[in-house]
């Protein structure tokens, strides 16, 4: 009897220890993470990835998701070909239940074709091409705004500048230029359409390669058309090149409205110096009015900023804020609330997310267009702003509901007077 009791207790103790060990060493929850970490888009791709790392570390320090630590299976996708191949690798070899990223629209479009075919969730945090949510894909989710929203915002803001430029909106001459990727074309086309719809005078709608090394012919063509406003959709290098050559060729305009984070990065300021002063940028607010955010979001904002600066040794740009918000929502609102990682469960949890404005660091919220909508999976509470470089800092100036500063330097001083 005693031996039997000892055997029972030993077995019970062993079972208890095994359960405890299993609980304390719960298998990591591995997800696919894809960004352009090398190549021409690596600068912003790495910033977005660093923001995702901060989100992962913060959730893991809080106990992970249902007691499981988040682990990244990382893919470097400099372009769409690699996006397709890496998405396949993550699904087939790494066995991930979802892929999140990616920043570049061309990469997102290619990779999401794979996830749709394989029945895996694609969680896009940054890429904006309209087409992403217009393909009737069941498994493609986007947390940020789309390209049309960016182009339309730029056009509406340019109309708002007419009074400062001493003209009526219908007298305003607007030129639209953009690099020729899926992103640039989508934004540029939307801006051009909106300029016309607003009754403004569209004098140019031009495209160029984002790898261009000389924009002098474009600058001279624009100079001959004498626009009051240029709406320019660019990445970093081509945005810097355009500003430099506009100065070299004495192309003076009333306002330059940049679209995209190329104009918002500290690197843009470092490369252009005082020439950046007065230039606008359409994107998520890099410096949101934190005092207007709910207390919980304010606290999260402060923690993110501190951690990002420690990791990256720099202040975050708007895409870092967007990337963090996308991953933080994925961890807390989808993975934490889905009963498992089957595609049906993840998709149901994603469409159930209902976060009010002010929940994310940019001031945005989250509510997806429902399944069956022509843009299903698109966040309806994404937030855009217009910012301006003022005294070496990017300030939100429009719309007034979220502005922290008034727009200045309209019209821009002539190059000869700077």
Judgement on whether residues 205 and 61 belong to the same structural domain of the protein: no
Dig out the tokens for 288 from the structure.
């949101």
Residues 392, 250: one domain?
yes
**Domain carrying residue 344:** 29-145+292-352
Are residues 269 and 412 part of one domain? Answer: yes
Distance CA 311, CA 357 (A): 28
Following DSSP, what letter does each residue of 30-62 receive, concatenated? EEEEEE--SSTTHHHHHHHHHHHHHHHHHHHHT
Q: Angle at CA 59, nearest 5°, toward 300 and 365?
A: 50
Q: What is the pLDDT along the chain (418 residues), one digit of tens a residue?
A: 444 444 433 444 344 333 333 434 579 999 999 999 999 899 989 999 999 999 999 999 999 999 999 999 999 999 999 999 999 999 999 999 999 999 999 999 999 999 999 999 999 999 999 999 999 999 999 999 999 999 999 999 999 999 999 999 999 999 999 999 888 999 999 999 999 999 999 999 999 998 899 999 999 999 999 999 999 999 999 999 999 999 999 999 999 999 987 898 889 999 999 999 999 999 999 888 888 899 999 999 999 999 999 999 999 988 999 999 999 999 999 999 999 999 999 999 999 999 999 999 999 999 999 999 999 999 999 999 999 999 999 999 998 878 999 999 999 999 999 8
* pLDDT value of position 287: 81
Same domain, 92 and 211: no
User: What is the helix (H) or strand (E) element at residue 231, kind and residue range?
Assistant: strand 229-233
Burial of 374 by CB count in 10 Å (0-12 exposed, 13-18 middle, 19+ buried)? exposed
Q: Return d(Cα 190, Cα 205) in angstroms, integer.
A: 11
**Long-range CB contacts (< 8 A, 24+ apart) of 56-62?**
56/327, 56/331, 57/307, 58/303, 58/304, 58/307, 58/328, 59/328, 59/331, 59/332
255 and 190 in one domain?
Answer: yes
Is residue 178 domain-resident?
A: yes
| Shared-domain flag, residues 267 and 133 | no
- Domain at 219, CATH number: 3.40.50.2300
- Who contacts 83 (Cβ-Cβ below 8 Å, separation ≥6)? 34, 77, 102, 106, 107, 108, 110, 111
Q: Are residues 141 and 157 in the same domain?
A: no
Q: Do 170 and 113 share a domain, yes or no?
A: no
**Which residues are bridge partners to 256 per DSSP?**
230
Tell me, yes or no, whether 83 and 126 share the same domain. yes
Contacts of 95 (CB under 8 A, 6+ apart): 30
Q: How many angstroms separate the CA atoms of 76 and 62, rounded?
A: 28
Residues 395, 308, single domain; the answer is no
Asked if residue 243 is part of any domain, the answer here is yes
């Amino acid at each position: 009897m005693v031996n039997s009791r000892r055997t029972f207790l030993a077995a019970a103790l062993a079972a208890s220890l095994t359960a405890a060990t299993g609980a304390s060493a719960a298998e990591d929850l591995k997800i696919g993470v894809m960004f352009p970490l090398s190549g021409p888009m690596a600068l912003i791709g790495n910033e977005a990835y660093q923001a995702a790392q901060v989100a992962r570390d913060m959730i893991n320090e809080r106990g992970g998701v249902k007691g499981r630590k988040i682990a990244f299976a990382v893919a470097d996708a400099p372009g769409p070909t690699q996006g397709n191949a890496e998405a396949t690798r993550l699904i087939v070899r790494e066995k991930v239940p979802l892929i999140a990223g990616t920043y570049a629209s061309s990469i997102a479009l290619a990779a999401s074709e794979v996830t749709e075919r394989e029945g895996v969730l694609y969680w896009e945090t940054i890429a904006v091409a309209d087409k992403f949510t217009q393909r009737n894909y069941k498994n493609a989710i986007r947390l940020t705004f789309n390209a049309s929203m960016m182009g339309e915002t730029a056009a509406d803001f340019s109309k708002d500048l007419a009074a400062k430029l001493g003209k009526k909106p219908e007298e305003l001459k607007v030129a639209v230029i953009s690099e020729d990727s899926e992103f640039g074309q989508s934004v540029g086309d939307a801006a051009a359409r909106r300029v016309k719809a607003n009754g403004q005078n569209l004098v140019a709608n031009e495209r160029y390669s984002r790898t261009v090394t000389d924009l002098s012919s474009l600058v001279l063509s624009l100079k001959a058309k004498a626009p009051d406003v240029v709406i320019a959709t660019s990445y970093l290098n081509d945005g810097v090149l355009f500003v430099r050559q506009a100065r070299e060729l004495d192309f003076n305009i009333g306002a330059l409205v940049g679209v995209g984070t190329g104009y918002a990065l500290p690197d843009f300021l470092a490369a252009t110096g005082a020439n950046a002063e007065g230039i606008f940028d359409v994107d998520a607010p890099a410096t949101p009015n934190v005092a207007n955010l709910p207390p919980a979001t304010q606290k999260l904002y402060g923690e993110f900023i501190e951690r990002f600066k420690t990791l990256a040794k720099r202040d975050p740009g708007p895409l870092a804020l967007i990337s963090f918000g996308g991953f933080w929502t994925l961890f807390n609102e989808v993975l934490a609330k889905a009963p498992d990682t089957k595609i049906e469960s993840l998709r149901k949890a994603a469409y159930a997310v209902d976060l009010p404005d002010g929940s994310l660091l940019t001031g945005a919220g989250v509510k997806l267009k429902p399944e069956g909508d022509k843009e299903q999976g698109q966040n309806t509470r994404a937030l855009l702003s217009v910012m301006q470089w003022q005294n070496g800092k990017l300030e939100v100036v429009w719309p007034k509901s979220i502005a922290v500063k008034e727009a200045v330097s309209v019209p821009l001083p002539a190059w000869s007077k700077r």
